[in-house]
Amino acid sequence: MLPIPNERKLSDYISKSAIIDNSTLEKQIRVAILSSFTLNGIEETLRVKCFELKVRCRTYVSRYNQYNQDILDPKSDLYKFLPDISLLMIDTRSILKNLFYTPYSVSSEERQKYIDNRARELLTLVKTFTKRSNSKLIINNFNIPTYSPYGICEVKVEYGLKQMIEDLNSKLKSLLRSEPTVYIYDFNAFVTKYGEGNVFDYRQFLVGDIKVALNYLPYLAEDWMAYIKPTLGLNRKCIVLDLDNTLWGGIVGEDGYEGIELGPKAPGAAFVEFQRHLLSLYQRGVVLAINSKNNPEDALKVIRKHPYMVLREENFASLRINWNDKITNMREIAEELNIGLDSIVYFDDDPVNRELMLKIFPEILTVDLPNDPSLYAPILMSLNDFDVLKLTEEDTKRGQMYAQQRKRIELEKTSTNLDDYLSQLGIRVTVKKADEFTIPRIAQLVLKTNQFNLTTRRYQEEDIMKFSKEESMLVACAQVEDKFGDNGITGAYIIKKDSPLEWTIDTFLLSCRVMGRGVEEAIMGFILKAAKKEGVVTVKGQYIPTKKNKACEQFLGNLGFKKEGQNWIYSLHDNLIKIPSYMELKSE
């Protein structure tokens, strides 16, 4: 059985791509496809998959086996196309040439030398590309053939056929690890997942040099979407779960604490397995929440006490266990966690609930769960929506941070007023310059922040890297801590120094996680003080309204910026810069 249900046929994608109109879509991505073999049909599939995410995908496909020329020629159409993402696909046969068939016609030393040379050539090719293009480059590793002419003795041969490929893969990995814009696509895992006999069809190979069978191209395209989604900030960060028949089998309100299915034996083991994979996602930073119609006492007893429950109360950032409708609960979860509905993935066994959720909140990814809990874990693992291009410290600590957030909310409830609450929090803000450690996180914030974002300008990590090196620009971020813990880097700004007397705030944003605690005033105060110190007279800000950034509409006005046409102007002569008194502000 294939792990992704409902993947369509290649012909469906090709037919659909001919009739879709993506010209009006706001989000765009330019994808270049470079390959050593025929990949016809993949661009149509990517276009449709992007269209379904409301993204206009423009494609460039290099001519048959012309990837080398395209990369080496600085004037090639590839570079003129200005791709955002480039996918370079080279197959094992092309890299090994005759040695694929007759590896043992040469000595093991020669085989090693051959692989060393291929690895070096690939590295040169990759470096040539990254020097000439700002595009991300995704290069595949090589699938290890299952066949060897030595058969069962293959394992006894020194540096045999399989070891050649393994070595090439590991060399690629270590050579490219430090290239910030290069990613290795694990094609060998793709072949393992779907089977060599399925992915490689001899008839298609012999007739048209097709080395990924046509019926598997949609699966390959889906794997590539894992790179496209985070490039556009379309990755998701929260899983909302139902309880009965989703986290355990049966209905706790009817079957009772002892009657539910959850334990080492099937079918209860299916739910344990699902929960274990959820826990692993939690540990890597995916936020978990519950949306369940249940008696809270019944459900909480299971969550707190059941011996085979893997996920416990502290793993959930929000628990909505009540008799309210699921739509209201979902809206409240999004509000409580301060995340967009488009960041949520929803698991519920009940098709009626799923249909309702799809209808009311189409932006939520409602997973089409089959009526078979043994498939819950593989379906969860097949989702590529949680992928990020770089795992930052903030990502891995997110679950913990949301648990701290629950404690902050409790303090807020017991405080008599806002000032009292804020001063008790003991907020510390540290402004940090953009560097190799902070830039991945700044890029993440720039791509994803919607609510407190004055201009919503989206830049890729490579752009931010470039800005940070320019003398006429200032890129920085802010780490926010308080007595409950570290919120991580949750604010960022980009300043353009137009002249010695004037600065423009190109980008100013704050993660919704720390909004409304004076952090935004403190960071802006820091910028204004820095401007004054350098003798700047005016600082120019902008508020570009979007559907989502109403939260910062009044921000510049409240701080003393005066509206002049499209801009907000702050005169450093006339104004005193204020920083909230309850806050500790420093810079590194």
Partner 1 sequence: MSVKLYDLIARVMQVPISKIDDTSGPETIERWDSFQKLILLYDLEAAFEIKFTLDEVLSINTVADIKRNLLNHGVLLDG
Q: Which residues pair with 452 in a beta bridge?
A: 510
Closer CB to partner 1, 209 or 342, in the complex: 209
Closer CB to partner 1, 39 or 333, in the complex: 39
Q: Which residues bind partner 1 (CB under 8 A)?
A: 9-11, 14-15, 18, 38, 40-41, 202-204, 206-208, 210, 214-215
Cα-Cα-Cα-Cα dihedral of 340, 341, 343, 344, to 10°? 140
CA dist list (Å): 260 to 271, 290, 308, 348, 510: 11, 18, 11, 17, 44
Q: Kindly state the smallest distance separating residue 38's Cβ from partner 1, in Å.
A: 8
Q: Find the DSSP H helices in 286-360.
A: 296-305, 326-337, 351-360
Q: Kindly state the smallest distance separating residue 215's Cβ from partner 1, in Å.
A: 6
Closer CB to partner 1, 8 or 276, in the complex: 8
Q: Kindly state the smallest distance separating residue 212's Cβ from partner 1, in Å.
A: 13
Q: Kindly state the smallest distance separating residue 456's Cβ from partner 1, in Å.
A: 39
Q: Under a CB-based contact definition with an 8 Å cutoff, are residues 225 and 78 in contact?
A: no
Q: Kindly state the smallest distance separating residue 365's Cβ from partner 1, in Å.
A: 28
Q: Kindly state the smallest distance separating residue 197's Cβ from partner 1, in Å.
A: 13
Closer CB to partner 1, 156 or 202, in the complex: 202
Give the distance, in angstroms, between the CA of residue 498 and the centroid of all CA atoms in the same chain. 34
- d(CA 421, CA 112) in angstroms, rounded, equals 66
Closer CB to partner 1, 5 or 253, in the complex: 5
Closer CB to partner 1, 39 or 281, in the complex: 39
Q: Is 244 left (phi over 0), alpha (psi -120 to 50) or beta?
A: beta
Q: Kindly state the smallest distance separating residue 39's Cβ from partner 1, in Å.
A: 11
User: What amino acid occupies position 280?
Assistant: S
CA dist list (Å): 435 to 1, 39, 432, 465, 564: 46, 39, 9, 8, 34
- d(CA 561, CA 96) in angstroms, rounded, equals 64
Q: Kindly state the smallest distance separating residue 467's Cβ from partner 1, in Å.
A: 44
User: What does the block give as tokens for 195?
Assistant: 């089977």
Closer CB to partner 1, 39 or 380, in the complex: 39
Q: Cβ contacts of residue 24 below 8 Å, gap of 6+?
A: none
User: What does the block give as tokens for 222?
Assistant: 């889906």
Closer CB to partner 1, 149 or 195, in the complex: 195
